[in-house]
Structure 1
Amino acid sequence: MSQRVAIAVRNASVSNRYSRIPGVPEWFYSFVPFKIATGGSSALVSLYLLELGGSASTVGMAFALASLASMLGALFWGRLSDRTLRRKPFILLGFASVPLFLPLMVLSKTPAQLIAVNTAYAFFLASTLSVPIALVLRSLRKHRWDYGIGKFNEISGWGWAFGLLIGFGLSKYLTVPQLFIAFAIMGAPSVVMAQRMIREVPVYINRGAIRAFGNYVVEKARYFPSFMLHTNFSLPSNLRGFYLALLFFWIAAGLYFPQMPVLLTGEGYGREVVYLALIANSAVSAFNYTRVGNAMGNKEAILRKGLVLRAGAFVAAMTAVTLQEVMLPLVFVSYILAGYSWTFIGLSSTSIVGEKAGEKEKGSAMGTYNVVSSAGYIAGSAIGGPLVSTVGFSATFGLGLALIWGSVALLRRK
């Protein structure tokens, strides 16, 4: 056999071997019970706070502290994972926090106790944010990283949505404490599945080499995971106005998402309605991601379109507060617009960061993106509750609407 033929045979063998690599690593599915549990229980903290005598301010503070703990936890666990070159123990820690902390919430007898437990829960849960992304990158060949991260979030997102659907069904028959216990049990299998499926392979990830972000950033207000692989910071001059516009958007999101369940509950609607609204919000995003991702052209125009749609969500919410007789349909319109708009905003904004940052600044620019978005959401959540308690929902949502238009104006100035 000639050398040329031998090389061809070897290359064909290698190609055939790679063609049999599964499209989705098995361990991706260990996240499904975990996402079902976290998605289904995501609405319960607000509802239980209100049952324990909390107010809009209490709910806002709970969201702010949990978001802060989540941001700090993602940075802490991500860096510790990088330093030890271990991934599996941190994923197991996050999975185990579900059956550990959800029952502890049932034991809370005051809003302050529940907020404390929820804050600690968010910190430990954050070990499942940035750490799995590094494992995804290790599980797939480099040219499939974008596909792998996108698929991981797709599986996680549908698990989250399915958990909301289960919560809707069970909320007719179970109390909030019973729902906490039910979802704690549902999340437990992830610990066993991850222990069996995840193969620990120490690896260093060169974060600066990851160039694309648009397919795998997910809104902190509604979903996990949130992509926080990049933790260094920079402020490129051509992105300063963009970051300010982004800050306005996330403050508005903090004014909106924590307070919508408070609005529905205050008007006498039960847990089933809250779950249905969240399902509508999540489903419209999931269905729209691929279509928007495949049609990315002028990213600035797509971002502005998303912000205008988000402005529509605020208008619908303000109108719902004013027109009590059509409140419920308008609340659903608002939630649907919020979910639909996010696909335009999330995909385009992260792509803009990737394109406009210098080649050596991409990782740190994305780190700044994460900090700005987290800080904005924390600030919005913290001030949203007191605003609702003092000036009402209309004025609070009106401020959010003004911030959204401020974002649009900043982007048009560029």
Structure 2
Amino acid sequence: MSNLKVIMSFSSHRTKYQRGLELKSKKKWMLFVLPSSITAEGLHIVIPLYVLFLGGNVANVGIVIGLHYGLSAIGAVFWGKVIDKYHLKRAILVTCFSAITICSIGLFFTKDLSLVVLISSISGFFIIGKNPVTQVLVMESVPNNQWSQLFTRISIITTFGSLGAFLVGSVWDRFFDLRPYFLFCAITSGIATILSFGVGSKSIIERHTIVHSIHGIRHIFNHNRLNFQFIFTKVPHPHDFKPIITVFQRKMSHDIGVLFLTNFLFYFGSNIFFTAFIPFLKKFEFTNSEVFLVYLIQTITLLTIFFFVPRLIARISEERATQISYLPRILGIITAATFIPITIGDYSLLMAIISSCMMVSAFSIFSVSNSIILFKTIPKGFEGTYLGVNSFMVGVGIFSGALTAGYISEWLSYSVSFAIAICIIFSSLVMFRFYLKHRLSHRTI
């Protein structure tokens, strides 16, 4: 009898060991996450710097950023449709990373500003391609009750990728000029391309099945809070925007329309600041390495706050956390606009770091708490529809913010741009309080 127990125990341990090996094998696909994150974050900073290096102005930077994110939104729809219809993973990753590698090399060789705009836009279309694939890979790798753990792990890897890109950039000026940084991005993207060949060729899960798990979608949004990301599990139809239209008709069909407008205004105002921020720093003679250093410390701050945000929200509720998040965001803009112009040297750099860290702290709290509210508000059975509408509104906000910042900063001043950003963000807070008031009163206006 005792021998039988020993055999059964050994068999049980062996089964667990085999399962562990299988899970470990299933997660090997995550190898591409780190180099692809380095490329994406590196290009995000170096392209605006390169536009200014070629003699472009803040309006040119606004156009480049606006088109980049505009093509990213289109790419999110396109690649989502491809993986849903054809269930390809490896082909999408290899195609997208290869295209980004070519774009990076192309940026290294070109000195024509119009070509930089074109190549940057194309890179935006391909750089988003890994997102729907990553969603499917997570769903295939672990049970749905473990999605949040795996997305958290990916989020941390992505953050370290950002740190790597910014760390290299922060010492780049000591050895090279700006252009060879594109070759660094090309190398990391090439590595991601090679590692993508280890990903399974076909998907056994369709991406749109993710709408059946609010839990899963929530953590996808939390994972994507480091960047502006778009998730379209269903392409929005004009009728899907009815909750927003009825707000202006003062006869709401559902209060989620107010939440969509809140998010639109938040990202609109925020991206006015973020688009103008790098040209603003260069105006006050920040070196390229100092710009990268600001973003490096910003990312470290974001990684640190990442571990405290869930506790904060659990203690004070997502509604209060969302409202609180507006304060550091507005103060961050005021700090940059007020103190960077009147300080010099290390003090000016310190003000830029403080401003940047306040901005991302606010963004981290807002995006997590706001996503929780969003998923509580989405009517059951309409997840795909409303996620598509929300992504569309966020995308329009980002695109509008980039263009507004570029032209207002160039034609008027950075101070005017920052003032407009503060007003729009404050109007987002007013809209959110209106949403809370309406939700609590349960009455139609």
TM-score, shorter chain, exceeding 0.5: yes
Matched, 1:365 2:386: yes
Matches of residues 2-401 of structure 1 in structure 2 within 5 Å?
A: 18=19, 22=23, 25-198=27-200, 200-205=202-207, 206-212=209-215, 213-217=217-221, 223=227, 226=229, 228=231, 230-233=233-236, 234=240, 236=243, 237-297=254-314, 298-320=317-339, 322-325=341-344, 326-401=347-422
The 1:295/1:369 distance shift into structure 2, 3 A limit, reads: same
How much does 1:347 deviate?
A: 0.5
After TM superposition, give the deviation of residue 18 of structure 1 in Å. Answer: 4.5
Deviates more, 1:37-46 or 1:230-239: 230-239
Offset at residue 15 of structure 1 (A): 6.4
CA displacement 1:66-124 (0-9 Å, x = unmatched)? 00000101110111111001112111222212321101012222211100011011112
Deviations 1:17-58 (A, max 9, x none): 546654781211222122222223321111111111110100
AA paired with 1:300? E
Q: Is the 8 A contact 1:153 1:216 kept in 2?
A: no
Cα distance in 2 between the residues matched to 1:73 and 1:336: 30
**Aligned AA (2:407):** P
Asked whether the equivalents of residues 285 and 342 of structure 1 are also in contact (C-alpha less than 8 Å), the reply is no
| 235-244 or 395-404: bigger deviation | 235-244
Structure 2 vs 1, CA of residues 162 and 141 (structure 1 numbering), >3 Å: closer, same or farther? same
- The two structures have a TM-score, normalised by structure 1, of 0.91
* RMSD over equivalenced CA pairs, Å: 2.5
Q: Secondary structure at the match of 2:167?
A: helix
The one-letter amino acid of 2:106's match is L
Shift of 1:255: 0.5
**CA offsets 1:359-402 (integer angstroms, 9 cap, x no match):** 11223222222111111010000111110012211110011111
CA deviations on 1:172-205 (whole Å, 9 max, x unpaired) are: 2111111111221233112222212546443223
Answer with 165-174 or 15-24: which moved more: 15-24
Letter of the 2:138 partner, please give it.
Answer: V
TM-score scaled by length of structure 2: 0.85
Q: Is the 8 A contact 1:219 1:346 kept in 2?
A: no
Deviation at 1:12, TM superposition (A): 8.9
Map Cα deviations across residues 128-173 of structure 1 (whole Å, 9 max, x no partner).
1222211211111121122222222221221122111112122321
Code of the aligned partner of 2:219: N
Native 8 Å contact 1:106 1:177 kept in 2: yes
CA 1:353–1:293: 2 relative to 1, 3 Å = same
- Give the aligned residue type for 2:288: R
1:322 to partner: Cα distance: 4.8
For 1:396, the aligned partner's letter is: S
* 2-structure distance, mates of 1:124, 1:316: 35
Report how many residues are paired: 408
Shift of 1:11: 9.0
The residue type equivalent to 1:131 in the other structure is V
Amino acid at match of 1:315: I
Structure 2 distance, partners of 1:47, 1:101, is 16
Gaps of 5+ in 2: 244-253, 437-445
Q: Is the 8 A contact 1:218 1:227 kept in 2?
A: no
Cα distance, 1:208 vs. partner? Answer: 2.0
The one-letter code sitting in structure 2 at the alignment partner of 1:389 is E
Is the 2:75–2:128 contact (alpha carbons within 8 Å) kept by the matching residues of 1?
yes
Q: Is the 8 A contact 2:232 2:391 kept in 1?
A: no
Q: How far apart are residue 221 of structure 1 and its match?
A: 9.4
Structure 1 window deviating more from structure 2 (142-151 vs 332-341): it is 142-151
Of stretches 385-394 and 20-29 in structure 1, the one that deviates more from structure 2 is 20-29
- SS of corresponding position for 2:359: helix
Q: CA deviation at 1:321?
A: 5.0
Alpha-carbon shift at residue 318 of structure 1 (Å): 1.7
Cα separation, 2, equivalents of 1:93 and 1:165? 28
Cα gap change, 1:116/1:71 in structure 2, threshold over 3 Å: closer, same or farther?
A: same
User: After superposition, what is the alpha-carbon deviation per residue over 1:224-278, rounded to whole angstroms, capped at 9, x for unaligned?
Assistant: 7x35153344455121111111111111122111211101111111101100111
Q: 1:247 to 1:381 in 2, by over 3 A?
A: same
SS in 1 for 2:55: coil
Deviates further, 252-261 or 319-328: 319-328
303-312 vs 187-196, which moves further: 187-196
- In structure 1, stretches of 5+ residues that fail to align are none
Alpha-carbon spacing, 1:232–1:13, altered in 2? closer, same or farther (3 Å): farther
Q: State the shift of 1:342 in Å.
A: 1.3
